[in-house]
Amino acid sequence: MKINTAILDDHPVVVNGIVKMFEEDELIGITHTWSNAAEFFEDIEKGIQPEVLLLDVLLPDQNGDLIAQQLQKNHPEIKILAISVLDSAISANTMLRLGAQGYIMKHATAAEWKKAIIAVSNNEIYIEPTLQEKMANLGEGRTREASVKTTLSPREKEVLQLIASGRSKKDIAKELGISTNTVKQYQFNLSLKLEVNSTAALVGHALRTGLAQ
């Protein structure tokens, strides 16, 4: 019997790519897809129960960390493989702490996708290989400010500076030549790293600590 796998992701290209990847696979079957949390939870309450859920870390109506928390509390039988476009150790650590059993990059190879889904379905922890060393370094004994300044990538610092200057996500995306969804992902990861939960708090922290300079 195939592993009953579902996808919760609002990017059609990603969803279609994963569906195509496993359409003839003997072990994994993609049975359902959703583009937002509201529709997903509506179907879950109707009795749809995938064995493995491929959960986008950043969705338009609710972030993946909150969805993972809800599933861990109300539907722990659904195993979560978090998926993302950015290799953030902070994001991966948060998702695993809140109930996900794995974390993989969206650009991973077909072999890695298959390995991750099988591992999670077997109640094993799967971490994107490129993130394993970064996650191991999270516990190093440095001050919070020094740790954050070290772990912010040049691009994250650039996005943070633009957010602090009052630019909209659309303007930031245009200036940096990236999509607005990628800007949202950067902001989400920045919020995790700086331990804030709003744009105002993010800007305030950045200005107060000098991270926006």
User: Average pLDDT for residues 140-148, to the nearest whole number?
Assistant: 44
Contact 54, 83 (CB under 8 A): yes
**What Cα–Cα distance (Å) separates residue 149 from each residue in 22, 96, 99?**
40, 23, 28
Question: Whole-angstrom Cα distance, residue 30 to residue 18?
Answer: 8
Q: What percent of the chain has pLDDT over 90?
A: 47
CATH architecture of the domain 3-135 equals 3-Layer(aba) Sandwich (3.40)
Q: Give the DSSP letter of residue 7.
A: E
What does the pLDDT look like over 28-63, one tens digit per residue?
999 999 999 999 999 999 999 999 999 999 888 888
Question: Whole-angstrom Cα distance, residue 211 to residue 157?
Answer: 7
Task: Fill in the amino acid letter for 18.
Answer: I
Question: Whole-angstrom Cα distance, residue 63 to residue 70?
Answer: 11
Given 3.40.50.10610, 1.10.10.10, 1.10.275.10, 3.40.640.10, which CATH number is that of 140-209? 1.10.10.10
Please, what is the average pLDDT of the chain?
85
Contact 131, 103 (CB under 8 A): yes
So what's the pLDDT on residue 138? 60
User: Average pLDDT for residues 110-114, to the nearest whole number?
Assistant: 95
Question: Whole-angstrom Cα distance, residue 105 to residue 123?
Answer: 19
User: Average pLDDT for residues 70-83, to the nearest whole number?
Assistant: 93
* Least confident range of 118-122, 178-182, 185-189: 185-189
Domain boundaries, the chain: 3-135, 140-209
pLDDT tops 70 at residue 109 = yes
Which of the four pLDDT bands, split at 50, 70 and 90, describes residue 145? very low
